[in-house]
Amino acid sequence: MGAVPMVELWRGGRMESRHLGHAVVWHATGGLVESWGNPAEVIFPRSACKMLQALPLMESGAGAGLRPEQLALACASHQGAALHVGAVSRWLADLGMGEADLRCGCHEPSDRTERDRLIRANEAPCQIHNNCSGKHTGFLMLNRHLGGDADYVQPDHPVQRAVRQAFEEVTGETSPGYGIDGCSAPNFATSLSGLARAMAAFAGASGEGDARDRAMVALRNAMAAHPDYVAGETRACTELMRAMGGRVAIKTGAEAVFVAMIPERQIGIALKIADGGTRASEAAICALLVRLGVLEADHPATRKRLNAVQTNWRGFETGMVQLAPGFPAG
């Protein structure tokens, strides 16, 4: 089965654009709850799998003693705001390392205040501004524990071998391969069902089991408790986790992937919009969270993304982003 219509943009009483996608809802012990499109669709999770990439750091014991804010950063696609830059810088310093030890590359921070500060100071952005710098600092910490060489992003490096092993075990699938992500680390492919199964494992973990179980709880709870570290102001992950009051951990990834972990329901969600449209993935994850009773439909963070009125530069209403007929109910 192919992708199905999920989100539409209407203008002037006509549908202007339509986004198709796939989504899976999975229960930790009951398996598949419901799906749309093709549950077997193989995707790159991109940054939506950062909690999986952080698992070896925690279950190995290498991350023992890390604060919840640092665990949230290990799973983050942050804005490069002062909050994030300062926390990553301190974490690196605690390791006796610095920006040059990272292998994520440089890009301009998404946070406007920090971007403007760099411009006024005539400073160039550094690797700590990279949205993945927290994940990479976690890789460095794991690498110290494993005793690998400095190029920890190589697919055959002990760090990435540990990530792949954890990824395949928790998704329940042998990955068919990998692509190189924007931060230079390998991103292992899996099916939507595999990704949802992994999120359900995080949601169903009790914190009273083995090292992996305890690691899953620590990571998911850190994300839910510190949404400002996971993304940043104005971002969907941060605003929606705040709206749910720490009950749910969610994470987006490039090319319109979104996941959610709902501990009170022991449910995981994974979705992918086929055309990579972020506005659609944000609307779709809102719809599923509302459907499952953990997000209020009328919360401002929801209304900003679901059935969201579009305005032009003069403030005139021009259209609306809304759900396609039949999704998610139908």
**303 pLDDT more than 70:** yes
- For residue range 239-256, what is the model confidence (pLDDT) as tens digits? 999 999 999 999 999 999
In whole angstroms, give the CA distance from residue 30 to residue 40: 18
Rounded to two decimals, the pTM is 0.97
- For residue range 136-164, what is the model confidence (pLDDT) as tens digits? 999 999 999 999 999 999 999 999 999 99
Task: Write down the mean pLDDT value for the chain.
Answer: 97
Mean pLDDT of 300-313: 96
pLDDT at 19: 98
Contacts 24+ apart (CB under 8 A), 240-246: 240/285, 240/286, 240/289, 240/295, 240/301, 240/302, 242/301, 243/295, 243/296, 243/299, 243/300, 243/301, 243/302, 244/289, 244/294, 244/295
In whole angstroms, give the CA distance from residue 128 to residue 154: 20
**330 pLDDT more than 70:** no
| Of 55, 311, 326, residue with least CA distance to 167 | 55
In whole angstroms, give the CA distance from residue 70 to residue 48: 17
pLDDT at 106: 97
In whole angstroms, give the CA distance from residue 275 to residue 21: 8
What ranges make up the beta strands (E) of 173-278?
178-180, 186-188, 190-191, 249-253, 257-262, 267-273
- For residue range 79-129, what is the model confidence (pLDDT) as tens digits? 999 999 999 999 999 999 999 999 999 999 999 999 999 999 999 999 999
Q: Which residues contact 123 (CB under 8 A, 6 or more apart)?
A: 117
**61 pLDDT more than 60:** yes
- For residue range 156-200, what is the model confidence (pLDDT) as tens digits? 999 999 999 999 999 999 999 999 999 999 999 999 999 999 999
Name the percent of the chain lying above pLDDT 90.
99
Mean pLDDT of 297-306: 97
In whole angstroms, give the CA distance from residue 281 to residue 115: 26
In whole angstroms, give the CA distance from residue 313 to residue 317: 10
pLDDT at 329: 82
**132 pLDDT more than 70:** yes
1 pLDDT band, cuts 50/70/90, is confident
Mean pLDDT of 291-295: 97
In whole angstroms, give the CA distance from residue 248 to residue 267: 10
Mean pLDDT of 222-229: 98
Q: Is 97 exposed, middle or buried (0-12, 13-18, 19+ CB in 10 A)?
A: middle
> Is 107:254 a contact under the CB 8 Å cutoff?
no
> Is 53:135 a contact under the CB 8 Å cutoff?
yes
In whole angstroms, give the CA distance from residue 50 to residue 45: 9
Structural domain boundaries in the chain: 4-323
- For residue range 36-58, what is the model confidence (pLDDT) as tens digits? 999 999 999 999 999 999 999 99
Say which CATH architecture domain 4-323 belongs to: 3-Layer(aba) Sandwich (3.40)
